[in-house]
C-alpha cells in the first residue's frame, strides 16, 4: 500500500556501552572495505521519514514503517503533490513507484529551523525494484514540484568523517546547524543480505564523543 520501507541508514561507527561512537570501528565490514572509495553525500535533514506510493491511479502516504503515524498537518501541506496528474505525467507506464522523502519544517523538528511551514523534501525514488540514479531522482522531484536534499559532494568515508570533526559542513538553510550527512557509494552497492549500502554521520555523535571521551582518545579513522 505504501511501497517498500526505506533501507535502514547505518551509523558509520559502532557504539560503546554508553551509546557513544567509537571512531574507526565501522558498523559494517563493507564500510571498512569501501572506506577509501568515493561516496556521494547529501545533507541529512532533521525531520520525519515519509513515503509516497503511486499505483498508477492514486497516491498513498506512509511513514518510515507501515505502522508509523504521519502528522496530519504535514499531509495537509502536501497539497498538489497528492494530485494524480503530475504522477501520471512523470510515470506514464509505471504502477509501482515509491518516492522517499523527509517531512520537515515547523513543529516537526525542534525550533522549526528550516522553514515556517511544513513540506516534503525528496531523497530517493524506487520504480518497481529499481533505484533511480541521482539525475533521475532530481527529474522526478521537478515533475512533482518537490525539492531534493542538498548535495554535499563526493569524497571518501575518511574524508567525510574528517569534515565532521573539523566542522567543514554547513547547512543549506541560513541559521540552521547541519545535522549531519548521508552517503551512498558512487555506484549502488548492497550487503550480503541484499540491503542497500547507505551511511550517516551526525554532528551530534561527534559532539557526544568529544564531551564524554577521555583526553587523548582517538578522533580519526
Tens-binned pLDDT, residue by residue, of the chain (221 aa): 788 999 889 999 999 999 999 999 999 999 999 999 999 999 999 999 999 999 999 999 999 888 888 888 888 888 889 999 999 999 999 999 999 999 998 888 765 578 888 899 999 999 999 999 999 999 999 999 999 999 999 999 999 999 999 999 999 998 778 999 999 999 999 999 999 999 999 999 999 999 887 555 554 55
Lay out the sheet containing 10-11: strands in order across. 10-11, 199-202, 180-185, 39-43, 151-155
C-alpha grid cell, residue 199: 551511511
Helices (H), 153-194: 157-165
Alpha-carbon distance of 123 to 101, in angstroms, equals 5
- This prediction has a pTM of 0.91
Inter-residue contact 86 to 80 (CB < 8 Å) = yes
Q: What is the pLDDT of residue 214?
A: 55
Q: Which domains does the chain have, with CATH numbers?
A: 7-44+150-213 (3.30.1490), 47-148 (3.30.470.30)
Rg of the Cα trace of the chain? 18
Amino acid at each position: 500500500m505504501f511501497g517498500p520501507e526505506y533501507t535502514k541508514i547505518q551509523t558509520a561507527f559502532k557504539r560503546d556501552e554508553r551509546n557513544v561512537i567509537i571512531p574507526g570501528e565501522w558498523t559494517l565490514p563493507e564500510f571498512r572495505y569501501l572506506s577509501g572509495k568515493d561516496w556521494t553525500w547529501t545533507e541529512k535533514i532533521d525531520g520525519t521519514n515519509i513515503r509516497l506510493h503511486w499505483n498508477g491511479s492514486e497516491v498513498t502516504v506512509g511513514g518510515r514503517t507501515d505502522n508509523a503515524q504521519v502528522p496530519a498537518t504535514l499531509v495537509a501541506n502536501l497539497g498538489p503533490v497528492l494530485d494524480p496528474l503530475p504522477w501520471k505525467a512523470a510515470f506514464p507506464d509505471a504502477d509501482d513507484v515509491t518516492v522517499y522523502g523527509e517531512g520537515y519544517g515547523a513543529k516537526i523538528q525542534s525550533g522549526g529551523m528550516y522553514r515556517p511551514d511544513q513540506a516534503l523534501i525528496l531523497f530517493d525514488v524506487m520504480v518497481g525494484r529499481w533505484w533511480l540514479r541521482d539525475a533521475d531522482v532530481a527529474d522526478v522531484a521537478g515533475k512533482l514540484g518537490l525539492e531534493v536534499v542538498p548535495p554535499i559532494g563526493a569524497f571518501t568515508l575518511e574524508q567525510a568523517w574528517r569534515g565532521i570533526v573539523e566542522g567543514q559542513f554547513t547547512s543549506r538553510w541560513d541559521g540552521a546547524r547541519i545535522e549531519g550527512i548521508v552517503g551512498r557509494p558512487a555506484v549502488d552497492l548492497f550487503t550480503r543480505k541484499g540491503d542497500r549500502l547507505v551511511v550517516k554521520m551526525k554532528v551530534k555523535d561527534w559532539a557526544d564523543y568529544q564531551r564524554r571521551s577521555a583526553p587523548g582518545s582517538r578522533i580519526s579513522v
